[in-house]
Amino acid sequence: MIVTLTANPSHDRTVTLTEPLRHGAVQRAASVLSQAGGKGVNISRASVAAGVPTLAVLPAPSHDDPFVLELLAAGIDCRPVDHPGDLRVNITISDPDGTTTKLNSPGPAMTDATRAALADALARRTGEGDWVVLAGSLPPGAPVGWYADLVAGLASTGARVAVDTSDEPLRALVDRLEDGAPHLMKPNGHELASLTGHDGDDLEKEPVAAARAALELVDRGVESVLVTLGGNGAVLVTDGRAWHATPPPTTVVSTVGAGDSSLFGYLLAAIEERPPADRLALAVAYGSAAAGLPGTTIPHPHQVDPTQVLVTDLDLTQGD
């Protein structure tokens, strides 16, 4: 079972342009796609497509809200917690070459009661061996340390916890790793750099540098760190070893949701008890497949081919 928490869900709208975005101009859209989204929701969508049991926990105005009904229609077992205010709308503008511009709104303020209900929903619906994914930004009103609180609280359930967030919530989590570390973290190169003091561009380009930076988090108690590097693939560090995976040639249509798909690929391989290198290969294969699809479309397993991903061992003593 994969249980996802989407703390700040959104109506995702993707506008695909017929020519590159020009500031201040009037342009025509080739298409407009709208989908109930959020990082945890995307992972639950991928779970349904792969036949993996999933449960999506999220705040929503009511159980008959169109957002919730869309998820239920997609086969996602959705457990909404009543939350006042309309869900946010995120807009992605996609150029013909796959370049994306994102406009993300903050979302409605989260009350203390909603936050407590979400934490309770996670604790009651999570069991031994489940994966719990805490994903995405936090809405206004949520303390930046809430993910760190949830990681510590979930320790008694026996579940394995993965966290994919950024900015202050990510920093707050890392500041409290000694109090409770997740089993998996999935930063990108720039997010990892912000935590470790490295240069983000260097980590995106240099897999060994990214792996060394990730090792700093592993040394502080995180079991595995999956670092996505955009077109340069991804790095996995766990149990003192590191691997780099190079993606297959991909015609990029939209990078939105590619990181979420990568995380699901890793989780799927972990559930299937594949070795670390195979988990990395499936993560990169899923991310590459997602980048070749429009909007936030999540790939189905038949669209994913990990045999096209090249995985190499990394020597972390290189250059010492």
By annotation, the residues acting in catalysis are 260
Question: Measuring CA to CA, which residue among 205, 221, 210 is closest to residue 280?
Answer: 210
Q: What is the C-alpha separation between 126 and 168, in angstroms, rounded?
A: 26
Q: Residue written as tokens 């203390």?
A: 112
Q: Token pair for residue 79?
A: 């457990």
Q: Residue written as tokens 């590459």?
A: 288
Helix axes 146-154, 167-175, angle to 10 degrees: 50
b/e code 237-261 from CB counts within 10 Å (16+ = b): bbeebbbbbbbbebebbbbbbbbbb
DSSP letter for each residue of the chain: -EEEEESS-EEEEEEEESS---TT----EEEEEEEEE-HHHHHHHHHHHHT--EEEEEEES-TT-HHHHHHHHTT--EEEEE--SPPEEEEEEE-TTS-EEEEE---PPPPHHHHHHHHHHHHHT--TT-EEEEESPPPTTS-TTHHHHHHHHHGGGT-EEEEE--HHHHHHHHHTGGG---SEE--BHHHHHHHHT--HHHHHH-HHHHHHHHHHHHTTT-SEEEEE-GGG-EEEEETTEEEEEEPPP---S--TTHHHHHHHHHHHHHHTT--HHHHHHHHHHHHHHHHTSSTTPPPPGGG--GGG-EEEEE-TTTT-
